[in-house]
Structure 1
């Protein structure tokens, strides 16, 4: 299907469902019409088969399910960004609507007040006062409703923003949140160290026990690192990689804590939940570097040390300007 043709079809699909051609809705329509998402196709087909019209809240819900089911972190980030944008637009619409209502109340009361000032008497006076009171009561109800909608929008927006900064699987900060933390460290000109940590033989865990066990392994490592490295923040840097940022110029101190986490993890007696089958210990390799002139240079140094740790046997922590933090045995 040619791009211009699918574009017209998407717009026609949105129009037929009385949906605005926003980026979120357009991407939804595109993924549905090109049958690119099983989740979107299944959910949307169910609505259509039951003769239901797709509403905006339905689109948001379906796109959320699509993002959660996707293995692509960029897809999840895009969906969250669109949710945040939608909430901001809704808040803007609500603010404009509230202003229009307030302007209308002001005009109505001004008109009735003018009638009173012009000398209205008897029933005319009573009627003008009653209409002012009724309009004021109506405005109060509208304001209360608007306030509730604003509170709900704020909760939704806060939730979307928080989700945009948290890795869904492990519950720790994600790459985006960590980029913000690095920027803050650089703005404050704080000396820090960075450790990049990578689970050893993670593909073998997935291949041997399945992705569900692999996911639990990621959560286990995240918990072990978070516990051992507190108060320094641990984030999921991507895949089976984690990043630690420590506000200290002492790389050896950070390496010591990373080593402690590695040892504690390797001592756990692990079993596969579904079969009660014993598992080999989970180990990781790490590279620790002191911050350089730029964050890119700092992360590159830590990544180079991690690569060296992997190349020379795994299950070890290499520190800038030193040897391994522990002469661990090859975990291969």
Structure 2
């Protein structure tokens, strides 16, 4: 059975293995043991209420309970940019016109922006390639929305997600080569890594403060602005179905799109329901709808996928499913269809 729960220190080795598999571009899952230990400590301190909002973050793991192995991670930052600036480019326009010369030019530009300061952020989504089946990836991503729906008061009104931008199989980013490389004088992989382990001061020190005219960039760089990495397209489409949209902001390193939504507009916030648990002995037929079911226990949060029958007040779970959720007869659980 696959279960999502809070990440814990005992998961370090499995998560480090996932970080090695994630490749270049996933800045929030660096192949750095100290950074991962700190991330695990932070999610624990967040759950215990020991951190200010500016420092809070959650990390969830997808666990194969049969093998007792962590095979995926996903995360939420509570409020970005309140300690160190949160940067992206806003894709805007500059108009150059002369009536006397009968010239009018509207040019696309990139402005360095801190507009998403204070937003909550979806981050750190990665699933072991061997487990990219049986809708595991969809479950791992969408469970964050169900958690937000249960504990809205702990998050900001705006939710964002930075999507991985285009780079080739060798880690070459045409956008970085055309722009960032000239200001940072380091490979894309190194800048990406330094950002991931928290060394972000160099961004403020080195990035251009004036608008960048897109037309002055090479064509291959222009073409990838706002484009999603091939491996990230399924995640991008999934987040769109939950209510997030591209609003003209891109990553400063690889120009991947940032998508956003107000929390009140999320599908999980609108459509998730609570039901009371009833234990049944037999398993529901496999053609029943699939639901995410979570225990709504903030400190010991966990969720599973079930094919369950329910009515307006109850959901029917097996004893094993109830045990995985740490619930019993009469407990309240939160449910949401996995598929829209």
- TM-score clears 0.5: no
User: Which structure would you say has the larger RCO, counting Cα contacts within 8 Å and 6 or more residues apart?
Assistant: 2
The structure with more strand, counted as a fraction of residues = 2
TM-score, normalization by structure 1: 0.25
TM-score, normalization by structure 2: 0.24
The structure with more helix, counted as a fraction of residues = 1
